[in-house]
Chains A and B, each alone.
Chain A
Amino acid sequence: MINKTLERSVIVLSWAAASILVMSVAILLGFLFAKGLGTLSLKLLFGSTPPLAAITLRQQVFDGLFPAVAGTFLLVICSTITAIPIGIAGGIFMAEYAGIRQKAFFSLLFDILAGIPSIIIGLAGLSLTIFLHRLFPGRLGPSLMISALSLALLVLPYLIRSTQNALESVDPLIRLTAPALGASRIQNVVKVLLPNSMADIIGGIILAVGRCAEDTAVIMLTGAVAVAGVPHDPLSQYEALPFYIYYISSQYGSPDELASGYGAAILLLALCTCLLIFAFVIQKRLVTLLLYR
């Protein structure tokens, strides 16, 4: 009797929790689209510049969001490309090679790193910029590269942890299979363990991509500015969507400007979605390539 009641209430509670979650997402998206959908147009992206000329970089866009979209896109690509190899290698080290003591020590280190607020990472990036500026006067300042490096540092602990957990949770029988067939440790990692954990590792990468795309604190301190155009090299300053959203919502001059902030939010969401889909496709391809070729 009691068991039945208990089971029923657990079911009801789970449903309630799930619907609250779904509803919050729906309300959030609904709100965003209600406020921003009206502004979505080529004009929001390119202003008065002809889109083709803007995309081919022949003409600068001064009154549209295209430079911010490009900036965020490049930023995410640069920071994840920096962080992914280091993160995966770190995860492999932690799961497969570290001794018990090393593991405990590095775990503590990564937990601390994961717990550092992004504004502090931003400050560290800023200090690095100032230091580099002293070393190479005039050439190095706040830039896309510094932001990308700082963001890479920010997401590194997630990548290491997700890789480590993915590797450690491979079925013990599968883990033993390749060594029993004469595989070296690294062969086991590359040919069996990594392909088997790819889905979980991609999960960590997706989290990292989202984190890089949305972070504002780090980039304001390390290179994002209100007007910069599309960055032409890694050492230039850049525009970014979250930074645009942040400053437009804190100092808009007209309701139209605020609405363009919502438009920017929708663009950011769309950009993240594209990157996620890209990550999924890569994962499928990689697994097929590694295991079924």
Chain B
Amino acid sequence: MKKTKIRTRNICFQYHKKQILKNISVEFPKGEISAIAGPSGSGKSSFLIVLNRLWEEIDGVNVTGKVEIELNGQMQDIYSGRIDIRQLRRKVSIVFQQPNPLPMSIFKNVAFPLNLAGLKDRERISREVESALKKVHLWDEVKDRLKEDGRLLSGGQQQRLCLARTLVMRPEVLLLDEPTASLDARTAEAIEQLLIQLKSRCTIVMVTHYQDQIQRIADSHFEVVNGNLINR
């Protein structure tokens, strides 16, 4: 019997009273890659930000329903008052579809979550940054220019930078919004290999357009149809 990592009950998502998602009740197994497909504008990205309450930072969004995620070894209702939202977003962290490096150096970008968490030990920060950049196969390209502005990187490099920035938090759940969309075939394959390696530590929910990618790496496959999430 597979262990459930994420369970949603009757999730409804509205943008300015417009219903995007309705009554989504699904489960994602622990340590697997679940892929979500669907036409653009159907609400895939919206679904991801329900899982770490990020929608609460966006004006005009309203969400109802229940989400339970296994955190620190037990299922917890993430919308209950006991949840520390900063902690939640570090454990259940998202990489956006559009790369969003902050206007700061490459190094500071990757170190940013550690800085936010109050980590001061410079040596440890350097180690974590290096290991995260190596994981996403960006280290060799940027190791000599860590002080340069992160926004000067190419689109594919930026996307890997943002993935590294998320990995340095050691999330339990990784929400990926089209993670290989702006990568060339070889880097995309390297990232797919990374995701497969990450499965032992991380549960991955991934939005993707590519059927072949789903075939290659996804353990289960969902599709958004008319605001509902259907298991294929």
Contact residues of A with B, CB < 8 Å?
A: 172-184, 187, 191-192, 195-196, 291-293
Contacts and interface: CB of A to CB of B under 8 A. Distances in A.
Interface in B39-53: 52
A40 B58 CA distance: 58
Contacts of B52: 180
Given A181-B93, A181-B113, A174 B86 contact: no
Nearest to A184: B86
A182 B54 contact: no
Contacts, number: 66
Contacts of B86: 182-184
A42 B102 CA distance: 50
A171 B40 CA distance: 22
A191 B96 CA distance: 20
A179 B96 contact: no
- Among B94, B104, B115, B147, the most chain A Cβ lie within 10 Å of the Cβ of B104
Interface residues of B, number: 28
Interface in B52-98: 52, 54, 57-58, 86-87, 89-90, 93-94, 96, 98
Nearest to A175: B57
B187 interface: no
Contacts of A180: 52, 54, 89, 93-94, 96
User: What is the interface of chain A mostly: helix, strand, loop, or mixed?
Assistant: helix
A179 B100 contact: no
A19 B89 CA distance: 54
Given A174-B100, A176-B54, A181 B105 contact: no
Interface in B129-161: 147, 149
6 contacts: A174-B100, A176-B57, A179-B89, A181-B90, A181-B93, A191-B115
A182 B116 contact: yes
Interface in B96-128: 96, 98, 100, 102-105, 108, 112-113, 115-117
Contacts of A183: 86, 116
B105 to A, nearest CB: 6
A166 to B, nearest CB: 14
Nearest to A293: B108
B90 A179 contact: no
Contacts of B54: 176, 179-180
